[in-house]
Amino acid sequence: MLVRVSKKHTAVDAAAVAATPSEAIDKLTQATLPELIQTSKGSMWPGKEHVLGCLVRVCETNPHLPDDVFAAVCDILIKQMSYGTVLYQRSVVGHYNTLVSALNPKNIYGDVADTLLGIVQQDTLSRSSAMDVDTDEPMQQPQKLLLVASATKALSLSLPRTRQLLDGEVEQLVSVLQNNARNSVWNVRVASLEALSKLFEHSNMHGNLKVHSSEVLEAIKVCAAEGKYLAVRAAALDALDAFITSIQATPTNDAKKWRLEAFVVLDLLINDPAPSIADRAKELRRQ
């Protein structure tokens, strides 16, 4: 254990040093990577999330990180998502999001999707039961929901850049996102709507409109009618905007029907009591 603690402190120090842009520090960064990767492998132990954070920070400061090193780091993080406590898993997913946001990999979705979907599908609680203080682990519930929200973001960050999703991948992802957008607590609903927006944008780029369905629009409609949380309604408007844009970009036989259904949802948002939402909805209606 003393060795591990020592490595943790060494890793944290290395991360602080690696943030300084200089040739000497770049060399030091390269020297620390093998040790950080080796230390990050294997089972979870107390404080390991700090080592993983350091590993990610070292990687994100290196714009020329070799592909095999990036793949090895991603493999470590994906495996670590299944270990330890909910709080530890949330830290790992957060580190993954930081790494992917910084380096923007082309095609990692197939490697990480099953793990992330396994986390996101754990959110089977309704909004009312999620706040039930009589659950077996009431103090764990907020952390679980934060983990689900972070994993949902990770799914959207991992969408492939050079290919469209396979039919089975689309069906599985849409099923999870629309279910959580309808039935979960507000932060998971927002994350699910944001992921749907990214999915619509991805479909637009790759000409795959299989994600556009009345079922998804109904989930957006439920969120647009949310009376309590402004953030949910704002995310619903963003998702609807991305949906309409995607329809206009790639028309299909069903596009006219979906557009009419989308405008029904848009009418709800036009009458929203918050001007920030109503004004944007009116502008979208005029386009």
Which residues lie closer than 8 Å to 93 by C-beta, 6 or more apart? 81, 116, 119, 147, 150, 151, 154
Tell me the C-alpha distance between 152 and 133, whole Å.
25
Which residues lie closer than 8 Å to 128 by C-beta, 6 or more apart? none
Look up residue 120 and give its two tokens.
């996101």
Would the pLDDT of 135 be above 50?
Answer: no
Residue whose pair of structure tokens reads 């000409």 in the numeric block: 207
Across 25-47, average pLDDT: 85
Report which of residues 241 and 29 the model is more confident about.
241
Which residues lie closer than 8 Å to 111 by C-beta, 6 or more apart? 74, 75, 78
Tell me the C-alpha distance between 163 and 148, whole Å.
26
Looking at residue 209, its pLDDT comes to 53
Q: What percent of the chain has pLDDT over 70?
A: 79
Would the pLDDT of 83 be above 90?
Answer: yes
Is the pTM higher than 0.85? The answer reads no
Residue whose pair of structure tokens reads 């009591």 in the numeric block: 273
Continuous H helices in the chain? 2-18, 23-40, 48-60, 67-80, 86-103, 109-120, 141-157, 167-183, 186-206, 214-224, 230-249, 255-270, 275-286
**Over the chain, what is the mean pLDDT?**
84
Across 71-76, average pLDDT: 96
Look up residue 155 and give its two tokens.
């799914």
Looking at residue 10, its pLDDT comes to 53
Query: Residue 106: how many CA atoms within 13 Å on its side-chain side?
Result: 3
Q: Tens digits of per-residue pLDDT, 190-226?
A: 999 999 999 988 877 655 555 556 788 999 999 999 8
pLDDT band of 100, cuts 50, 70, 90: very high
Looking at residue 201, its pLDDT comes to 87
Looking at residue 206, its pLDDT comes to 58
Q: Tens digits of per-residue pLDDT, 158-179?
A: 999 888 888 889 889 999 999 9
Residue-by-residue DSSP string for 177-195: HHHHHHHS-HHHHHHHHHH
Tell me the C-alpha distance between 105 and 92, whole Å.
18
Which residues lie closer than 8 Å to 254 by C-beta, 6 or more apart? 212
